[in-house]
């Protein structure tokens, strides 16, 4: 009876404490033995560390999770990309009401959003491409995107083309994830507390949320076409959407570097390459809604007119520099220089005798200025959040 009473006492104490009986209990003759060397219940394992979470961005800027949710909502509403400005404004208002947008967006209205969205419709068609809108929101949340130079963009084209096995200008998800983009390796300033080369980098990197890698998945969801393993992403079309800059002229120059693959800030683009700059995803989607007013022949005519007017000032007609033969001087001025591999950055820059123009020549000519004013405003970054607060 004493052994049973002792067992009852121990069990009651454990029950009152809300704890399991940790040790083995056994009756031996008339006594109760508590064997503390034998655990009846294994100790509970330690809880795994919580997954890293993204730090809240500044007011008005979207987190990666919010960018992903918003792009999925746009893609579900319009898989082809084009949608009415009113529909885009209504989607943003709904997203702000149900918490899919930051708190600073709460209270936005359709009348307030329409002036903010109208710059995405330079031809006054009543439609916008939500991928352009999302690209501006992405750049607002990732300032390092707009810090890319012309050389950075051309290098990115080269690196992605290196993993493009069949050379069709598109990559699969696995190939896309193989290449580190500039906003990944430029996310931290050397020498700062967040420098990944610092002594505490390993622990800090393990604890931090990798926003840049998460953004790559958002970009894949935005620009990939196809289903499942057959889905691919157009390299140049995606990078062209990441060229917009606070300075529109600089954005156009970066777009020329992407289209030509040239690291030079004055890359010369052929009519086909200018056509790609004007229509990164092709003109077909914009034809029914009058968003493709320039066809290939019209753009080729603009390029040819500008090129003909600039031939007198072309490098080939310039006097040779001192100490160089004329052919060498022309080659150097045209960016020939050292031999490059066919896919190397800068290898795509057009030869002097090929009909091709620079961004400067396009912007500062009558025909080119009209083309730029109507079709190249996509390379001017637009602060949608601030614009929505101005009404």
Q: How does residue 106 score in pLDDT terms, banded at 50, 70 and 90?
A: confident
Q: What CA–CA distance (Å, rounded) separates 99 from 90?
A: 14
Task: Determine which of 49-53, 127-131, 211-215, 226-230 has the lowest per-residue pLDDT on average.
Answer: 49-53
* Helix orientation angle between 296-310 and 271-278, rounded to the nearest 10 degrees: 120
Is the predicted pLDDT of residue 136 greater than 50, yes or no? Answer: yes
pLDDT of amino acid 260: 95
pLDDT at site 336: 38
Q: Is the pLDDT of residue 161 over 50?
A: yes
Q: If you average pLDDT over residues 137-149, what whole number do you get?
A: 92
Across 191-200, 263-272, 329-338, 356-365, least confident range: 329-338
- Give the β-pairing of 224-225 and 127-129: unpaired
Which of 42-46, 197-201, 261-265 is least confident? Answer: 197-201
pLDDT value of position 85: 95
pLDDT at 265: 86
Q: Which residues contact 229 (CB under 8 A, 6 or more apart)?
A: 172
Lowest mean pLDDT among 34-48, 95-109, 351-365: 34-48
Task: Calculate the alpha carbon distances from 359 to 257, 270, 364 in Å.
Answer: 10, 11, 9
CB 161 within 8 Å of CB 200: no
Return the pLDDT at 369.
86
Listed in order, the ranges of the chain carrying CATH 1.10.238 are 64-146
Is residue 85 within 8 Å of residue 117, measured between CB atoms? yes
State if pTM tops 0.75: yes
The Cβ of residue 70 has, within 10 Å, a number of other Cβ atoms equal to: 21
Q: Name the pLDDT band for 169 (thresholds 50, 70, 90).
A: very high
The band of 337, judged by pLDDT with boundaries at 50, 70 and 90, is very low
What CATH class has 64-146?
Answer: mainly alpha
Q: What is the DSSP letter of 328?
A: H
CA distances, 200 to each of 49, 191, 209, 210, 212 (Å): 18, 12, 16, 16, 20
- Dihedral of CA atoms 180, 182, 183, 185 in degrees, nearest 10, equals 70
Q: What are the residue ranges of helices labelled H in 100-224?
A: 110-117, 130-141, 150-163, 173-178, 182-185, 201-207, 211-223
Alpha-carbon distance 61 to 46, whole Å? 36
How does residue 207 score in pLDDT terms, banded at 50, 70 and 90? low
Q: How far apart are CA 183 and CA 151, in angstroms?
A: 14
H helix or E strand, kind and range, residue 224: strand 224-225
DSSP single-letter state for residue 347: T
At residue 332, the pLDDT reads 37
Residue 97 CA neighbour count, 13 Å, CB half: 8
Residue 1: exposure state from Cβ atoms within 10 A (0-12, 13-18, ≥19): exposed
β-sheet bridge partners, residue 25: 34
Is residue 366's pLDDT more than 90? no
Tokens 């954005």, residue? 251
pLDDT reported for residue 3: 64
Q: What is the mean pLDDT of the chain?
A: 82
Residue 326, pLDDT score: 37
């Amino acid at each position: 009876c004493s052994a049973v009473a002792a067992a009852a006492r121990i069990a009651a104490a454990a029950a009152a404490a809300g704890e399991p009986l940790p040790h083995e209990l056994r009756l031996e003759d008339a006594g109760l033995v508590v064997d503390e060397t034998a655990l009846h219940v294994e100790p509970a394992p330690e809880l795994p560390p919580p997954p890293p979470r993204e730090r809240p961005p500044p007011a008005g800027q979207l987190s990666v999770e919010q960018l992903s949710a918003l792009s999925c909502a746009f893609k579900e509403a319009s898989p082809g990309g084009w949608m009415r400005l009113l529909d885009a404004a209504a989607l943003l208002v709904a997203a702000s009401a149900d918490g899919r947008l930051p708190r600073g967006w709460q209270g936005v209205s359709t009348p307030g959003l329409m002036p903010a969205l109208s710059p995405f419709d330079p031809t006054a068609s009543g439609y916008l491409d939500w991928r352009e809108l999302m690209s501006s929101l992405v750049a607002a949340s990732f300032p390092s995107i707009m810090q890319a130079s012309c050389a950075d963009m051309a290098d990115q084209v080269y690196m992605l083309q290196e993993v493009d096995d069949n050379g069709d200008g598109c990559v699969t998800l696995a190939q896309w994830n193989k290449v580190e983009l500039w906003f990944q390796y430029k996310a931290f300033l050397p020498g700062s507390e967040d420098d990944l080369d610092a002594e505490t980098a390993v622990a800090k990197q393990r604890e931090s949320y990798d926003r840049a890698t998460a953004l790559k998945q958002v970009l894949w969801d935005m620009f990939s076409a196809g289903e499942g393993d057959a889905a691919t992403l157009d390299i140049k079309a995606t990078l062209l959407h990441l060229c917009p800059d606070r300075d529109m002229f600089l954005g156009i120059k970066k777009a020329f570097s992407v289209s030509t693959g040239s690291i030079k800030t004055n890359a010369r683009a052929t009519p086909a390459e200018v056509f790609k700059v004007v229509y990164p995803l092709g003109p077909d989607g914009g034809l029914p809604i009058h968003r493709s007013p320039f066809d290939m022949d019209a753009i080729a005519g603009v390029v040819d007119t500008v090129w003909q007017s600039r031939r007198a000032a072309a490098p080939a007609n310039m006097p040779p520099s001192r100490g160089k033969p004329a052919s060498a001087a022309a080659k150097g001025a045209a960016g020939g220089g050292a031999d490059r591999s066919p896919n190397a950055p800068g290898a795509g820059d057009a030869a002097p005798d090929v009909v091709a123009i620079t961004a400067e020549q396009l912007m500062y000519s009558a025909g080119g200025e009209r083309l730029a004013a109507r079709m190249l405003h996509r390379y001017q970054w637009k602060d949608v959040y601030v614009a929505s607060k101005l009404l």
